Structures are given as structure tokens and as C-alpha cells.
Amino acid sequence: MRRNELKSFRAALFRAFKARPLEASRRRAPLYAGPPETSTPAAQLDAINAAWREARLNIPYYKTLQAGLLLPDAFRSLDEYREKMPLLTKEILRKKRKLFNRPGGEKSFTAATSGSTGEPVRIRFWKSEAGVNASSSLLARRWFGIVPGDRLFLVWGNPRLLRSGPAARAADLKRRAADRILGYHRENAFLLDDRSLDGILDRLLRFQPDYLAGYSAALYLMARRLLELGARAPLKAAFPTAETFPVANGADAVADAFQCPVAMEYGSVEAGVIAHEHPSGGYRVFHDTHFLETLEGEPAGSPVAVTKLYPAYIPMFRYLVGDLITGEEGSDGSVFRFERVLGRSRDVIEFADGSRVHPGAVSQVLREFPSILQFQLESGDGRPKAMKVAVKEPLKREERDEIRRRLERVGGELASIPLVEVKAVEKTAAGKSPWLIEE
């Protein structure tokens, strides 16, 4: 089969497998063909009130919140909403998790945040929420000329990659089959030393993708290695996500190595896909799915809170994301566009033997064990020395053995550093618990 015929066949399969998010992205496209309509804030208020009506009737946390703060059944304006609705934080989601459970209904699944502070939060979602996020990603890719049938090289991490046994093998086979149908090639972003990067780049050149997506740190290290080798790999576009680049010129390096525009996707596991860089410059907020607002600014930028405007297992009202943005534009308190995200940069972990591991690997291993509340890597002389885990009850021997096995699958020296159980990890003067501390 010729290349063009193969692409047409792959496009047909993609349209069949992604029919709903593709249709949603086409339906939403006119909303972003120009500046937001003047009626957009009013439409957002209607969506907030619809979500609030459902939440206060079905979610115990919001029932109690309304009664305790005498919140109205409906908000008359976005200003009133911002004034009266308190902020939602990860700490609330973590400590009051059971109060966000709801009775029956649509089938749900659980996912965990990446744990950038070493303290992942487990969140329940409806399957339809994944469809909303997929449509936002597809919509943004359309802006950069990505069409069904284009081949994707994805550099990502998934806890399933670290599991073993028949169920894990079956899930892996299912994922590989789906990737093949969709025209995806998936690489493990956990191990990022030069040898691993050389293998990833070799497979990228052989796969001949149309575009690239993955962890920002991983894409930067791939680009840097490619440039060190004096090579280029032209693509249509590169889409980093999940974190800011570890260096200021990270996007420039990726653009140079892959000879293409670089556009960051902005969001989080719990809040979904909130915004995306646009070919015209800056970020466009997906204002039909999220209400984004800024809080009292800090010298570097403005903290942001987000509200989901679509049905969600856990409705989120004024959720404090934890990032700062700059250059925001909008109306009636709603941000439609901004220039930059000053988010968390998750530098890779480098060991004495030169191996490098993405910190997401640690988070994805440890969050599988319910006894572990939080983790923290202790570093000395720029190298990890110990892994501290705050536990609600002592780990069983078989749990410690399984953690070691999974860390060995990640690579590097992670499995060889001491695993220390503590009651609580260290905090900064600001009361935060970073995933990495220096001795």
C-alpha cells in the first residue's frame, strides 16, 4: 500500500475511533476562529449555575458548603460568583475526598495527579470528561495543521508500564493495538539518559511521525541530544505538556531540532485541558469548557483559579491550580487569553552514573500504594541520597519489594537508594512539601 493510501486508511480508522471528540472539536472550532463573543461571559455564568445546581443537589461537600456559607441557588453575575464562592484546593480534595462521592449514575474511573509536590491526589472522573479533553486537544492541533491520519510520536509516562503480570500484559497489548490503529508510537518518558535518548531518537527517525507530543522536559532533552549529534528531524509541530521547560530556551531548542512550531498545552489531571498556545501568539483559554480567573497578583504574575463548565464527577468551582500567568486579557473577570505560564518546572533526577529519570516516574510508582501519603527525595551534592515516604501505616514487606521491582523497571539508581518511612516529609518555610530537598 502506498504512503498516501496508507494515510487515508489510517485517517478513516482515526475518524471511526475518535468520532465523538472529532465532531466536538469541529463543532467548537468557530468559537475560536476570532475573538470571543461579547456574550461569552453570560454563557459562562449560565454554565456555572447549571453545574452549581447539579453539585449542590448531589455532592455532599457542596450541600454542606451552601448551607454553611448561605450560598445562593444561582449567581446573578460572575462578580457575585467570584465574591461568594470560596476557592477549592488540592488539600480540600485530599482531606475531604469522601464528601465528593456521588450516588451511582454514569460509570466513573479514578486517576491521580502527577504529584509535583510529592503528594498526589486521587480524583474520580466520568468517561465523558476524557472526551471533552480529547476534543480540546484535537481542536488545538487543528490550529497547527494536524489532521486525522497524521502520525504521532508520544513521549509519555504511564503506571501500567511499571506493572507486571497477566493483567498488565493484556492492558499493554490492548494499548499497542489501539496505538497502531490511531497511528501513534508511544515511548516511555521515565528514563532519559543519553543512551535511552539515542534509542528514542532512533525509533523516532524510523517511525517518521508528522508531529510530536510529550513531557516538556523529555522533549527538551530529546531536542538537545539531537542538536548535539548535529541532526534535525523536521515535523509539522511539537506539543509539550504537563510542565514548563526546565530551561528558559527549551522551546527554542525543540523548535530548532524539529524545525517546527512548538505549542504548549496547559492544564492538569484534575482540571483538564484549560488552554493552549495559539499560532497568533500566547495562550487561548478554552472558554466554552473552563472559566479561568486571576487572583490578587504576585510580583512575577497572577495566580489562577479555574471552574469546569461541563458535567464532571467532581464539579470544580474556583479550583486553585497552583500556577501563575502573565499578560492576561478578558472581560467581566473571565480570562480569554494570556501570554505565559509560570508553572512548575519538574527537572529530571540525575544520578552519579549519568543516568537521568523524570520525577513523574517516582510519583507514578508510589501513588499505586494506598499506604503512601507523600514522597520526597533527599539530595546531597546534587544527587539523590534517600527516598522518604510519609505513610499512614507501615509498609508490608511485599509492598516494599514491589516498589523496588517497579523502580528497577524505571531504571537509573532509583531502586538502590534507601527507602525511608516517616510520619511526615519536610516542609519549606512557606509550608510547602517539595518533592526534592537539598541537604
Share of the chain above pLDDT 90, in %: 47
Per the prediction, the chain carries an average pLDDT of 85
- Residues facing residue 186 across a β-bridge: 154
- By the 10 Å C-beta count (0-12 exposed, 13-18 middle, 19+ buried), 214 is classed as buried
Tell me how far the alpha carbon of residue 92 is from its chain's centroid: 20
* pLDDT (tens digit per residue) in 166-197: 776 777 777 788 788 888 999 887 777 788 89
Split at pLDDT 50, 70, 90, the class of 431 is very low
Q: Per-residue pLDDT tens for 118-144?
A: 556 778 899 999 999 999 999 999 999
Give the E-state strand segments of 222-287 in sequence order: 237-241, 265-268, 272-277, 283-285
Looking at the 3D structure of the chain, how many domains does it have? 1
376 within domain boundaries: yes
| Lowest mean pLDDT across 24-28, 171-175, 273-277, 339-343 | 171-175
Domain contains 68: no
290 pairs with which residues across the strands? 308
Cα–Cα distances in Å, from 140 out to 14, 25, 147?
A: 17, 9, 11
The string of pLDDT tens digits covering residues 306-318 is: 999 999 999 999 9
Name the band, by pLDDT with cuts 50, 70 and 90, for residue 417. Answer: confident
User: To 5 degrees, how large is the angle CA 2–CA 187–CA 161?
Assistant: 130
Confidence class of residue 429 from pLDDT cuts 50, 70 and 90?
A: very low
Looking at 73-77, 184-188, 298-302, 329-333, which range is the least confident one?
A: 298-302
Q: For residue 10, is it within any domain?
A: no
Whether the Cβ atoms of residue 399 and residue 369 lie closer than 8 Å to each other: yes
Residue 430 maps to a domain = yes
Q: Is there a domain that residue 413 lies in?
A: yes
Cell of residue 58, nine digits? 448531589
The reply to whether 149 falls in a domain is: no
Is a pLDDT exceeding 80 seen at residue 299? Answer: no
Exposure letters 53-80 (e unless 16+ CB within 10 A, then b): eebbeebebbeebbeeeebeeebeebee
C-alpha grid cell for residue 412? 537509573
Q: Indicate whether 412 belongs to any domain.
A: yes
CA distance 21 to 37: 23
Q: Say if residues 138 and 18 touch (Cβ distance below 8 Å).
A: yes
- How does pLDDT run across 203-233, given as a tens digit for each residue? 999 999 999 999 888 898 899 999 999 999 9
What local confidence, expressed as pLDDT, does residue 439 receive? 57
* Per-residue pLDDT at 384 exceeds 90: no
Domain span holding position 412: 369-438
**CATH number of residue 406's parent domain:** 3.30.300.30
pLDDT of residue 75: 98
Residue 416, in any domain of the structure? yes
Please compute the mean of the pLDDT values over residues 84-90 and round it to a whole number: 95
Distance CA 32, CA 35 (A): 7
Say which range, 46-50, 52-56, 108-112, 201-205, has the weakest mean pLDDT. Answer: 108-112
Is-contact 179 213, C-beta < 8 A? no
Give the Cα separation of 165 and 349 in Å (integer).
28
